[in-house]
Amino acid sequence: MSQLFGCCRVVFNDALAHCNQEYQNGNKKPSSSELSKRLTELKKTEEKQWLTEVSSIPLQQSLRDLEQAYSNFFKSCKGQRKGKKVKPPRFKKRKSKQSAKFTDNGFKIYPNSNYIYLAKIGDIKVIWSRELPAVPSSATLIKDSADRYFVSFVVEFNPQQLPKNGQSVGIDLGITDFATLSNGEKVKSPKPLKKQLKRLRRLQRNLSRKQKGGKRREVARKKLAQLHAKISDTRNDFLHKLSTKIIRENQTIVLEDLNVSGMIKNRKLSRAISDLGWRSFRTMLEAKSVMYGRDFRVIDRWTPTSQTCSYCGFKGGKKELNVREWICLNCGISHDRDINAAVNILACTELSRSVAGGLSETLNGRGEKVRLSKESASRRSVNPPEFRQLSIFDLLK
Task: Please indicate whether residue 218 is annotated as part of the active site.
Answer: no
Q: What does the alpha-carbon distance between residue 395 and residue 354 come to, in Å, rounded to a whole number?
A: 8
Distances (CA, A) of 302 to 197, 219, 232, 335: 34, 49, 31, 20
User: Residue 107, Cα to own-chain centre: how many angstroms?
Assistant: 30
Angle made by CA atoms 240, 178, 82, in degrees to the nearest 5: 65
Spatial CB neighbours of 334, under 8 Å, sequence gap ≥ 6: 325, 326, 327, 328
- Bridge partners (DSSP) listed for residue 100: 141
- Bridge partners (DSSP) listed for residue 253: 169, 296
Give me the torsion for CA of 358, 359, 360, 363, rounded to 10°: 180
Helix ranges (H only) for the chain are 2-24, 32-44, 56-78, 192-195, 197-209, 215-249, 260-263, 270-276, 278-292, 337-354, 374-382, 392-396
Q: What does the alpha-carbon distance between residue 360 and residue 354 come to, in Å, rounded to a whole number?
A: 8
Task: Please indicate whether residue 34 is annotated as part of the active site.
Answer: no
**Overall size of the chain counted in residues:** 397
CB distance 187 to 172 below 8 Å: no
Q: What are phi and psi of 105, to 5 degrees?
A: -90, 5
Distances (CA, A) of 334 to 187, 327, 346, 354, 394: 21, 4, 19, 27, 19
Q: In what order do the strands lie in the sheet with 149-154?
A: 98-103, 138-143, 149-154
334, containing H or E segment = strand 334-336
Closest CA to 153 of 120, 113, 118, 123: 118
> Exactly one of 14, 65, 67, 256 is catalytic; which is it?
256
Task: Please indicate whether residue 172 is annotated as part of the active site.
Answer: yes
> Exactly one of 172, 233, 300, 386 is catalytic; which is it?
172
* Neighbour tally for 348: CB within 10 Å: 18
> Exactly one of 338, 361, 375, 394 is catalytic; which is it?
338
Rg (CA), the chain: 28
- Bridge partners (DSSP) listed for residue 256: 299
Residues that are catalytic = 172, 256, 338
